[in-house]
Structure 1
Amino acid sequence: MSCHDAAPGVVVEAGTLTIGLVGNPNAGKSTLFNTLSGARQAVMNAPGTTVELQTGTWKRGGRRLALVDLPGTYSLTPRSPDEQVAADYVAGRGELGRPDVAVVVLDGSALARSLYLLAQVHETGTPVVAAVTMLDVAAARSVTPDLDALATAAQVPVVALDPRTGSGVEALGVAVERLLETTRCPAGCACAQADRHAHGGCRCATATAAPVAMSDEERFAWTERVLAAAVPTPPAVPVRSTSDRIDRVLLHPWLGVPVFLAVMWAVFELTTVVATPLVDAVGGFFGGPLASGLRAVVPGPAWVEGLLVDGVLSGVGTVLSFVPLLALVFVAIGMLEDSGYLARAAFVADRALRSIGLDGRAMVPLVIGFGCNVPAMVATRTMPDARRRLLTGLLIPLTSCPARLTVYVLVAGTFFPRSAGTVVFGLYVLSGLLVILGGLVLRSTAFRDLRQTRPLVLALPAYHVPRLRPLLLSTWTRVAAFVRGAGGIIAGTLVVVWVLSAIPVTGGHPVGEVPVHDSVYGRVADGIAPVLAPAGLDDWRLASALTTGFVAKEVVVGALAQSFSLDPADVGAASADGALGDQLRATLDVTSGGHATAAALAFLVFVLAYTPCLATVAEQRRVFGGRWAFGAVAVQLTFAWLLAVAVFQTGRLLA
C-alpha cells in the first residue's frame, strides 16, 4: 500500500511496499506467509467484513515489505465474501487498496487449476510473480513442469519454491525486487499502476502492461496453451502416489469414519485430559505463590490488596491460564492442516453437517468446542468462507465445555445421586441436539443464503510430515492474537466484577470487606433473581452464581459456596452429603415450591445453554465483530431462559 494511506486496521507503515499472496487453497500460500514473515505477524478482519486476513513483515536486507495473506480462492469471480475480498484487493477495489506486487502461488502438481487464477490476476494489471510449489508431489506423479517455458508462455517471472523448507525464497525475493524497481516513479514513490495515484505532484510510471480482459473461453484457451508449454508430455497413465494409497484407507466408506472419530477423540482428549494439568498449574501459580507474595508486599488498606490480588492478578491469571490450552489446540490443528489430514476430515464429516448449512470443515471447531469454546472460535478459520465461519461460531457456545462439568457434577450428585452419570451424559447429548437445532433455526432465518448446500468439492493436498518451525510460529501468532484481542476484555471485566462485589450498599462494612449480598454485586443479583422465578430459581444466591458464571463457568461452584458463606474446603464436597449440596437442596426446595428436582434440571439446562464465558464472548467479538457477539449473547440468554422455564414447568406438572 504505497502512495496512499493504509486501510483502517491494516498494520502497514506509510510508504511501505505491499506484497499480496494469492493462491488456491492448500497450494502452500499460508506456509509461504509464515516462512517469509516469521513471528512478525498480526491477524485482522478485512474492513467491513468478518473475513480474516493475516498481515506480516518480510525483511529483505534493509527493506521491510508488508505481506498480506489473502483467503484461498480458485478464481477472482467471487462466490463468497472471502473470494470477494481477495478479488477486490488484487484489483485495487475497496479500502484495502492494491498490492504493489502479487505473488501467485501455483500448485506444481495441479497447474491447470492454478493457471486460471494466474490469468485473472494478470488481467488486473497488478505486477505478478508466480511461485511454483508442490514440485516434489508433481515429481512423485511423474510430472516435471518446465518453469522457463512456463515463464515465457505466461509472460511473468516464475520461481520454484518449497515454503516448508525455505528453498527458493531468495529467488522469490530477487524477482519481487526486480518488479518493484521497474515500477518506481520519479519522485521516489513506488506504485504498481501508471494511473493509480498522484503523489507529490507526479504521476507514477510503470513498466507493467495495461490489463487485457479476457472472456472465459479466452482464459481457458490461455490456460491450455500455457499448460501445454510447461508440461509438453504429461504421463500417459496417472501415477498412484503415496497420498493416493493412504487415501484408500482414510477415505474408505467403512474405514474412514472410525479413523476420523479416533482423530477427533484424540483432539478432544488433548483439550481435556492433557491440557487440564497445565491450566491448573498456571492458575495455581497465580492464585497461590504469586497472590501470597503480592499480598505480603502490597501496602495500604485492604481494598487495595483486594483490587490488586483478587481483581487485577486474578484477571491476568485467568487470561494466561488459557495459554497452554490454546497452544496445544493450535499445535493439533496445525499438525492436521500441515499433514493434509484436515481436508480429509472435512470430506468424511461433510454429509452429516450439510443439513444445517455447513460442511465437513465445521466438525473440527465443533469438536474442539467440547474441550474449550475459546480455541474453537479461532479454529473456525478452517472454514471455507465468512458466512459458514460465522454460523459455526454462533453454534460453538452450545457445545458443552469441561468448565460446565463441575456444575453438572455438583447438581447431579446432589439431586440424582443414583443416576448422576446418566444425567451428565444426557446433558452432553442435549448439547449435541442443541447444536443441530440451533443450526436448523439459523439456517432458516439469518442464514437462508446457505440453504442450498452442495456436497463438498475440495482439492485434497498431498500428505506431508509437519515442519516444527512453521508449526510453532503459527501457534505463537494465534496465541498472541488471543492474548492481545481478548485478554484485555477478560481481565478488565473481572476487575469490574471485583469492584462491584467490594462496594457495600449497607452501613458497617468497609470497602473490600463486605458480604456478597450486601455489595453492589449482591444487589444486582437480587434484581436478577425474580427473572428466574418461572424456572424455579428465584434466589439471589443462584442468580449471583449464574451471573458470575457469565465470566467463567469454573467459578459457579465457588460463587455458590461464597454466597452460602461456606468455607472453601466445603466446595470440594460437591455431592449429596456435602455442605454445599445440602444448602443447594434446601434453597431449591423453597424457590421451586417443593419441586426441587425440576428446578435442579432447569438450573443444569440453563448452565448448558447460556453464554459459556466472557473469554468466548471476547474471542467471538474479535473474530466476528461486536454486533454478532453481543447479539449472540442476547439470543443465548433468552434461549437458555426459555429452555429452563420449559423444563421446570414440565417437570413440575409431571411430578
Structure 2
Amino acid sequence: MSCHEAPAAISPGPVGTAVLDEPRIVLVGNPNVGKSTLFNALTGARQRVVNAPGTTVELQEGRWRVGGVPCRLVDLPGTYSLDARSPDEQVAAHAVHDDSTDLVVLLVDAAGLARSLVLAGQVASAARPVVVALTMTDVARTRGLTVPADALADQLGVPVVVVDPRTGAGLDRLASAVALALTHPRRLTTAPSRRVTTPGTAPDTVLEGEAAAAGTAASDDEAERVFAWVADVLAAVQLGGDAPRAPVRTWSDRVDRVLLDPRAGIPVLLVVMWALFQLATTVAAPLIAAVDTLVNGWLADAVRAALPSSGPWHWLEGLLVDGALAGVGTVLSFVPLLALVFVAVALLEDCGYLARAAFVADRAMRAIGLDGRAVLPLVVGFGCNLPALAATRTLPHARQRLLTGLLIPFTSCTARLTVYVLLASVFFPQHAGTVIFVMYLASAALVVLGGLALRRTLFRDVRREPLVLALPAYQRPAPRPIALSVWVRVLAFARKAGVIIVGTLTAVWLLMAIPVTGHHAIADVPVQDSLYGRAASTLAPVLAPAGFGTWEAAAALATGFVAKEVVVGSLAQTAAVAEPDDPAHPGDLGDRLRATFERSSGGHPGAAAAGFLWFVLAYSPCLATLAEQRRMFGLRWTALGVGVGFTVAWVGAVVVFQVGRLLG
C-alpha cells in the first residue's frame, strides 16, 4: 500500500480499549516548536501533571474532544531523536512505539524543517498513524522561507495542517484531520525515491549536522536512508529546484549579536537573575503575608470561635487550628510564590530569552556537569528552594533535572537568613556581616562540590557535552497558554505536595500535644515534657560532638525541618522568652542562647554556634520543598537527598566545632 492510499478503518476493539473508549493521542516534536502551547490550547484546564511510570520525567495529560469523542492527549518531552539516550528520549520513544498509542500528532517546525524531518523519519519506523501540525510558519516567513502544506503532505503521505497554537488558528482543521485519521489512518514513509542535490547546496552535510545536533545515534545505514529521504523532501518542498536564497538577517539575529556576546550578554543575564531573585523574595513577601493573615488570622479565629475552648474536647481546637489549618496555610502561602516564579519562567521561555541565557551561562555550569539552563533554578534557590525545583522543568533531560533538584537544597534560601542573622548577632557581633557572607559562600561551595561528587558517583551518565541549542525566534509571549500552564502546575503542587504538608504538620502538632512526663493534659504541655521534647532529648547526644547537644537545639532543628524560619521561634519557645521582632537585636533570647551554647560546648560557644550555622545550611530543605521533591522525583531520591544532607550537615558541623575549639 502506498503512502497516499487510505487503509481500511480500524475495527472497534472490545469494550474498554483505548480505541473504543478514549483514543490515546501523543504530541511529538523538537523543543521550542510550540508543542506545549498547542497542548494547552487543545485541552484548556482539563489537564494534569504526571510522572511517566518508573521515571522522573514529567508529562502532561489532558482531555481533548475530537469530533465529539473524548481523547487522551499526552504532551511528550521535546526531543530531537527517538534513538533513546536519555530518560526523556526513552519516554518519548516508548510512547510513540507503544501499542496503546492510537495516533501521533507530529509537530513540524517550518523554520527548522530539516531537524523536524529527521525526527519524522524515526517516527515513521513506529508505523503509527500520523497527523502533522505545521508550526512556526510566521517565523519561517521572516527568514524568507515558505513551506506549502499541500506539497509537504504529498511528500509525507499524511495530512498536514498549518496551526498557530498561540492564536488558535488552524485548531479546528487539526481536530477534523485527527478525527478522520483515527478511523482512516495514514502512516509516514521514508523510502527515498532518488538522491537530490540542488546546485549550491550540500544536503548531506547539512542534514548530518542537524542529526548530530539532535543527538541521533542510529546506525549508518538507517541514518543514510533517513538523510536521503529528508533531502528529497527538502528539495521538493522547500527549495523547489530553485537556487538557494541568501540568508535573511532577522530582528532576532540582530538582537542576538548583543545578547550572545559575553560583554553584553553576561550583564543582561545577571540583571535577569537578580530580578528573579527579587521576585522570589521581595515581591512575593507581601502576598505570602496576606495569605498567612487570611488563613492563620481571620480563618483561624473563626474556627476557634466555633469550637470548645475548654472541657474534654478542648484539644480539638489545637488539632484543627494549629495542626491541619496551619498545614493548609503553609500550602496556600506558597501558591503566590510558585505562581509568580512559574509565570516569570514561562515568560522567559516563551519570549525566547531562556535559550540565550543558557548559552551565556553554559561555561560556568559545565563545571558541575550541567548546561547553562541550570543557572535559573539554582539562582532562584537562593530565594526559595520550592520554586527553584519547579524551575528545573526548563532543563532538557530528566537526569539533569534530578541532579539539579538534589543540589537545590544546598542553596541557602532566605528563610535560613533569619537564623544566620540571629546567631551571628549573638556570637559574632563585631563580624556579623562577614559571617553571613561566609555562609552564602559556603552554600555556593556546597553546590559545586556536591555537583562534582554526584557526577562522579550516581550521575556518571550525565556527561559534559557541548551545548547544542536551536535558538527560537524572539516572540511576544501568549498569556492564555501561560496562565493555563501555571494553573495546572500550582494545582498539582496543592493536590499532591499539599497532602504531605498538611499530614506532617498535623503529626508534629500531635507529638507536641501528647505529654510523656508530669501530669499535663493533652494539648496543654510544655515542649520539653511532650513526646516531641522526648524525641529531641533522645537525638541531642548525636549533636554533642558538634557542640550543641541539647534538647533545645535538637527541637529547634527538628522544627526547622518543617520550616527554616521557625527555628528562631522554636529557640525562643524552649528558652521561655519572647521571640525578638528583629533577629539582629535578640535581647533576652541572646542571653539564653549564649548560656546554653556555653554549657553544651564546654566553654567554646562561638565554635558551637558556627557548627550550628553549618548544620542549618546543609541538613535539609523545608517540608514543602521535600514534598515537591517527592512529587517530582519519587520517595527514593527524596530520601537519598535528605540522608546526604544530614550526613554533610553533621560531619561538617563536627569538623567546624572541633577545629574552632582547637583554634580557641
TM over 0.5: yes
- Partners of 1:16 and 1:632 lie apart in 2 by 39
Aligned equivalents of 1:276 and 1:286: distance in 2? 16
1:265 aligns with 2:274: yes
* Residue of structure 2 equivalent to 1:165: 167
After superposition, give the CA deviation of every residue in 1:350-397 in whole Å (9 maximum; x if it has no partner): 111112111111111111111111111121111111111111011000
Match of 1:224 among 222, 228, 231: 231
Quote the Cα distance in structure 1 between the aligned partners of 2:301 and 2:530. 25
Aligned letter for 2:39?
Answer: F
> What is residue 343 of structure 1 aligned with on the other side?
355
2:656 aligned to which of 617, 627, 647: 647
Counterparts of 2:274 and 2:101, CA distance in 1: 42
Contact 1:415 1:576 in 2 (8 A): no
Q: Identify the residue that residue 179 of structure 2 maps to in structure 1.
A: 177
Q: How does 1:563-582 map to 2 (within 5 A)?
A: 563-567=574-578, 570-575=579-584, 578-582=587-591
Amino acid at match of 2:359: F
Instruction: Measure, in 2, the Cα distance between the counterparts of 1:496 and 1:230.
Output: 65
Does the Cα contact within 8 Å between 2:295 and 2:329 map onto a contact in 1? Answer: yes
Deviation of 1:209 (Å): 8.2
1:387-440 deviations in whole A, cap 9, x for unaligned? 111110110000011111111111111112222122111111111111000001
Match of 1:502 in 2: 513
> C-alpha displacement at 1:268, in angstroms?
0.5
Secondary structure (helix, strand or coil) at the match of 2:425 reads: helix
Instruction: Indicate the SS of the match to 1:15.
Output: coil
Identity of aligned residues (%): 60
Amino acid aligned to 2:222: S
Give matches, 1:455-474, under 5 Å: 455-474=466-485
Match for residue 54 of structure 2? 48
C-alpha displacement at 1:62, in angstroms?
2.7
Alignment CA distance shift 1:490-1:3 (3 Å):
farther
2:261 is matched with which residue? Answer: 252
2:210 counterpart residue number: none
Distance 1:523 1:395, change over 3 A: same
Give the Å deviation of 1:527.
0.4
Tell me the residue number matched to 2:216.
Answer: none
Question: What is the CA-CA distance between 1:573 and the residue it aligns to?
Answer: 4.6
Counterpart Cα distance in 2 of 1:359 and 1:645: 34
Matched, 1:283 2:292: yes
CA offsets, 1:564-605, max 9 Å, x none? 1223xx332524551111111110011111110111111111
Please give the alpha-carbon distance, in whole angstroms, between the structure 1 residues aligned to 2:257 and 2:360: 13
Distance in 2 between the 1:212 and 1:220 partners?
11
Match of 2:86 in 1: 80
In the superposition, relative to structure 1, how do residues 238 and 209 fare at CA in structure 2: closer, same or farther (>3 Å)?
closer
Q: Distance in 2 between matches of 1:576 and 1:471?
A: 44
Q: Residue in 2 aligned with 1:190?
A: none
Summarize the alignment of residues 410-421 of structure 1 with structure 2, pairs less than 5 Å apart. 410-421=422-433
Q: Deviations over 1:140-184 (max 9, x none)?
A: 01111111111001111101111111111111101101101225x
Secondary structure, aligned partner of 1:54: strand
Q: What's the counterpart of residue 293 of structure 1?
A: 302
Match of 1:389 in 2: 401
Q: Secondary structure at the match of 1:594?
A: coil
Provide the aligned C-alpha RMSD in A.
2.0
Segments of structure 1 that go 5 or more residues without pairing to the other structure are 184-206
Residues 615 and 5 from structure 1, CA distance in 2 versus in 1: closer, same or farther, beyond 3 angstroms? farther
Q: Does 1:29 align with 2:38?
A: no
Q: Distance in 2 between matches of 1:575 and 1:326?
A: 29
TM-score with structure 2 setting the length: 0.91
Q: Are 2:440 and 1:433 aligned?
A: no
Q: Which runs of 4+ in 1 moved over 6 A?
A: 4-7, 209-214
Residue 555 of structure 1: how far off its partner (Å) = 1.1
Q: Which residue is equivalent to 1:423?
A: 435
| 1:167 to 1:72, Cα distance in 2 relative to 1, 3 A | same
Q: Does 1:515 align with 2:526?
A: yes
Instruction: Rate the CA distance shift 1:13–1:157 in 2: closer, same or farther, 3 A.
Output: closer
Counterparts of 1:517 and 1:6, CA distance in 2:
58
Q: How does 1:19-418 map to 2 (within 5 A)?
A: 19-60=25-66, 62-92=68-98, 97-182=99-184, 215-231=222-238, 232=240, 233=242, 235-299=244-308, 301-418=313-430
Matches within 5 A, 1:516-555: 516-555=527-566
SS of 1:110 mapped into structure 2: helix
Assess if the C-alpha contact under 8 Å between 1:574 and 1:581 holds in 2.
no
Q: Distance in 2 between matches of 1:272 and 1:6?
A: 50
Q: Quote the residue 1:477 is aligned against.
A: 488
2:164 match: secondary structure: coil
Rounded Cα–Cα distance in structure 2 between residues aligned with 1:250 and 1:6: 53
What is the identity, as a one-letter code, of the residue corresponding to 1:259?
V
Matched residues, number: 621
Partner amino acid, structure 2, of 1:131: A
The whole-number CA distance in structure 2 between the counterparts of 1:483 and 1:566 is 35
Aligned to 2:262, the other structure's residue is in SS state coil
Q: Distance in 1 between matches of 2:15 and 2:470?
A: 37
Deviation of the 1:212 alpha carbon: 7.7
Distance 2:511 2:19 in 1: 42
Task: State how far apart, in whole Å, the 2-side matches of 1:278 and 1:484 are.
Answer: 20
Q: Provide the residue aligned with 1:443 in structure 2.
A: 455
User: Residues 157 and 189 of structure 2 are in contact (CA less than 8 Å); yes or no, is this contact kept in structure 1?
Assistant: no
1:629 partner amino acid: T
Partners of 2:58 and 2:632 within 8 A in 1: yes
Letter in 2 for 1:438: G
Q: TM-score, normalised by structure 1?
A: 0.92
